[in-house]
Amino acid sequence: MANGIQAGFQFNFFRNLIVRQIRQDYLENLTGFAWLILQPLVLLGVYAFVFTQIFKARVTGLEELGFVPYLAVAFWPWTAFSEAILKASHSITEHAALIGKVAFASEQLPLATVTATFMMHMIGYLAVLIVLQITGTHILWQYVIYLLPVLLLLWGLACAIALFASASQVFVRDIAQILPPLMTFWFFTTPILYSKSYVPEKLARVLDWNPLTWYVERIRGILLFDQVRFGWHDLAMLLTVPVLFWLSLRYFRRFSGHFEDFI
């Protein structure tokens, strides 16, 4: 009975953390929620203008599809992933008043931040997909069910990195300055703005070791190219992400007992 009550408390506390994060970032004022929808649409317009009118970007062999849809379907999952990690990385230090004063599992703080960020960014992502459909891109809506496990694995990877980064940031405050440029570097070494076929073969093989490459290609394949078959790369990611999450959670819990002494 006591274990059940404790589990119920932890679940309710986690749910309240998610709701609080959503309210704080998006719902406390009208512009916050409106900007959640408008920002991806404005960015879509900016990228469409810059890459099609100025740089004349094209995807070889996919001229009929166009560059903007090719970019857009991969860009917004990355945005959710990147923003979730950056926000969650300082979630422990931001909630220093709770640590040691409320009996809860402190890993809920970064996990709630990642979850709230993903939930809200998926609203913006849906808006982008609808606009792409309206403007002539054939989105394969019937395969969205296959997209959900991919996004869930992306959320799991973001959680794993957030657990590691948020625990480390308590002791190494420079992580707050180091992480943003690292995420920018990761963005440009992921084939989001370009096709992997554009880079030399040796470099393309290196990009295959970037886990985000799998997500980008899988999302594009599902939504744009009717590629839904399950393969070895999918199995590898399905096994790898839970292991990384487990290792990060162990790392977090290993040092969480010392948080109160450093914040």
Which residue in the block uniquely carries the two structure tokens 């009208």? 30
Q: In whole angstroms, give the CA distance from residue 92 to residue 99.
A: 8
pLDDT tens digit sequence for 194-240: 888 788 888 888 888 999 999 999 999 999 999 998 888 899 999 99
Q: In whole angstroms, give the CA distance from residue 220 to residue 150.
A: 11
Token pair listed for 88: 């969650």
pTM for the full predicted model: 0.90
Which residue in the block uniquely carries the two structure tokens 């963005």? 187
Q: Where are the alpha helices (DSSP H) in the chain?
A: 2-22, 30-49, 67-88, 91-94, 108-134, 144-171, 175-188, 201-207, 211-224, 232-256, 259-262
16 vs 81: which has the higher pLDDT = 81
36 vs 143: which has the higher pLDDT = 143
Q: In whole angstroms, give the CA distance from residue 128 to residue 44.
A: 8
**HSE (CB half, 13 Å, CA atoms) of 187?**
18
Q: In whole angstroms, give the CA distance from residue 14 to residue 12.
A: 5
